[in-house]
């Protein structure tokens, strides 16, 4: 396992980590799970064509794209892009090419499409 954040983020150390299923075609490696009202930090790996349905951010979300391209209704975010989604915002997310992102959530998101179903 990578020993430093530098190895993890800039030298591809995340490739050595074990990922678990998170959503269909999206897997997760928790760096710091939600605990005692503390933010969650994780790596998400999207397979090509993967998507996350429309959801609402209950707290601040920040994303750093490490590989590939992640997209939402506002645009496409390639390697090195830093994306901030404020509390109360809504969007859906997808990756046509596949991607890996470092993500931090202040609070878990609320998936909206699953509430309607």
Token pair recorded at residue 106: 């202040």
Q: State residue 47 phi and psi, 5-degree precision.
A: -75, 160
Token pair recorded at residue 73: 């209704």
DSSP annotation of 35 = B
Q: What is the mean predicted confidence (pLDDT) over 59-68? A: 95
How far apart are the C-alpha atoms of 2 and 86, rounded to whole Å? 30
| Domains located in the chain, CATH noted | 5-111 (2.60.120.10)
pLDDT at residue 117, as a whole number: 45
Q: Is the pTM of this model over 0.75?
A: yes
71-116 residue pLDDT tens: 999 999 999 999 999 999 999 999 999 999 999 998 888 889 765 5
What is the distance of C-alpha 101 from the center of its chain?
5
3-state secondary structure of 36: coil
15-62 residue pLDDT tens: 888 999 999 999 999 988 888 888 999 999 999 999 999 999 999 999
β-partners of residue 85 are 61
């Amino acid at each position: 396992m990578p020993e430093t954040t530098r190895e993890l983020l800039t030298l591809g150390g995340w490739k050595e980590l074990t990922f678990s299923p998170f959503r269909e075609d999206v897997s997760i490696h928790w760096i710091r799970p939600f605990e005692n009202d503390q933010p969650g930090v994780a790596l998400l790996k999207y397979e090509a064509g993967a998507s996350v349905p429309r959801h609402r951010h209950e707290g601040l979300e920040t994303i750093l794209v490490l590989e590939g391209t992640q997209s939402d209704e506002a645009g496409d975010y390639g390697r090195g892009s830093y994306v901030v989604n404020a509390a109360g915002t809504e969007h859906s997310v997808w990756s046509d090419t596949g991607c890996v992102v470092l993500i931090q959530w202040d609070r878990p998101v609320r998936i909206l499409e699953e509430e309607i179903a």
